[in-house]
Amino acid sequence: MNTATARATPGTRRTKVRADGATIACLFVLALTIIPARLIFKGLPLAMSPAMAIGLAMGLLWFCAQLVTTLGVAKGRNAVRTALFLFAASQLATYGYATFTYLPPDELAAADRTLITLAAFVLVGIAVCDGVRGLARIDRLLKIMVVGATFMAAVGVLQFAAAIDLTQYLMPPGLRTAGEISFVLERSSFRRPAGTAEHPIEFGVVCAMAAPLALHYLFRARSIGAPQLRWWFCLAILAVAAMQSLSRSAVLGLAVAGLVLIPFMPRGRRWRAVVLAGLFVLAMRIMVPGLVGTLYSLFTNISVDTSTESRTRAIERAGAEIAEHFVLGRGFGTYVPEKYGYVDNQYLGTLVQNGIVGLAALLLVLLAGLYAAVRARLLSRDPVVRDLGITLTACVCVPAVSAATFDLLAFSVATGYMFLLIGCAGALLRAAREDQREDQGVPP
């Protein structure tokens, strides 16, 4: 992992950079968003997607790079890396506890698959935190995340508007589908697109995670006089797709991101953002009659919604499991939805499957990501870093809030983006601290 540690400033001439941790992370993003989430390798006994394979490879490369001092990978303490290590340790403890006694074959297979899947994504977060060095490389990774999410969103917009499903053409050789899948569902006479994700809820949440990044790069391009059209396009597609997912989680994520971002904008930009949001809702109401009303009814009719009723029943079922396995849980992945029902709440599901230890570790990971982003903003005097710090704070808030309304860690694209964002927050904190030491004349 050869890294470029030079600090990027707007308007500087672009220099050629060799492949590094950001390069591999970009490949992971493209595999996560362009290849449909339900495609796995043929001939393997384990259901492994290309993104999972890249994530495990990133973990191996990170481990090898930590054994030497010549590859530029960061060492030393970092709140994000510590939190990710503790989260991984909690997962291993739960797995050991669950498999110490007998497990039904279907639950054991699910636990094995879930452990490897989650390990791949945790390793991605650690590798990004330590292997993506400097603002220029963080920017490159975040821009690719916007592009990947925009591609996924564009596929979903076609699914919604014209019933054109491009996922049937995105079938690379050597892969197969994991069972019978459909990337388009229905709600209130509307098609609910999933793009290349596994489910419309996941699709909407990922779009909500990427939208603040698109807004950040739009404002940055505007401030330096760079072309803005591509970022306008990305922001529009992501916002439209999040609405078309017909998901409470996506709408809630967009609202929370806006509540975090708008107070920290300059006054003129703040009012433009509010007006733009109002015009966007009005345009969606005119172009897709009934869509805004359907989204509004998702919240006003929440007490009689069938999904709300199923969540209430899930809480009752989960109570008995929590009382029986309070400390380490029954095992992550062993609460098979087809067998026990859906929980639709990641925090409750983590408490059931990983116990209070696992829930504390998950909360610590989210809080570490938020801390790193906010701390980077406070440490830096560079307006670019400060804006990126609050943007990452808004992005991490989206999965933190949405996890209360759906099983976040059960979906690969949403999980991958969450750990990528948290890893980028850790990398930004490292970059801000290095810049601070440089300004103070402290040698590295």
Instruction: State pLDDT tens for residues 174-230.
Output: 898 886 555 556 555 667 888 899 888 999 999 999 999 999 999 899 888 888 899
| 50 neighbors 174 (Cβ within 8 angstroms) | no
The total domain count for the chain is 1
CA separation, residue 136 to residues 5, 7, 20, 385, 429 (Å): 8, 6, 12, 11, 14
Assess if residue 6 is contained within a domain: no
- Residue-number span of the structural domain to which 84 is assigned: 21-438
Assess if residue 443 is contained within a domain: no
Assess if residue 13 is contained within a domain: no
Helices (H), 262-330: 267-287, 291-300, 306-324
DSSP state of 326: T
Which pLDDT score, from 0 to 100, does residue 222 have?
Answer: 87
Give the H/E segment covering residue 30: helix 21-33
d(CA 271, CA 262): 9
Which pLDDT score, from 0 to 100, does residue 422 have?
Answer: 97
Which of these, 221, 207, 97, 215, lies nearest to 157 by C-alpha position?
A: 207
d(CA 431, CA 215): 22
**First CA to last CA across the chain, in angstroms?**
19
Assess if residue 168 is contained within a domain: yes
Which pLDDT score, from 0 to 100, does residue 4 have?
Answer: 42
Assess if residue 395 is contained within a domain: yes
d(CA 317, CA 311): 10
Give every residue of the chain whose pLDDT is below 70, as ranges: 1-17, 179-190, 287-314, 439-444
pLDDT in tens, 399-421: 999 998 888 998 999 999 999 99
Assess if residue 10 is contained within a domain: no
pLDDT in tens, 132-184: 988 999 999 999 999 999 999 999 999 888 878 888 888 888 898 886 555 55
Which pLDDT score, from 0 to 100, does residue 289 have?
Answer: 60
Which of these, 356, 387, 389, 385, lies nearest to 370 by C-alpha position?
A: 389
Which pLDDT score, from 0 to 100, does residue 3 have?
Answer: 42
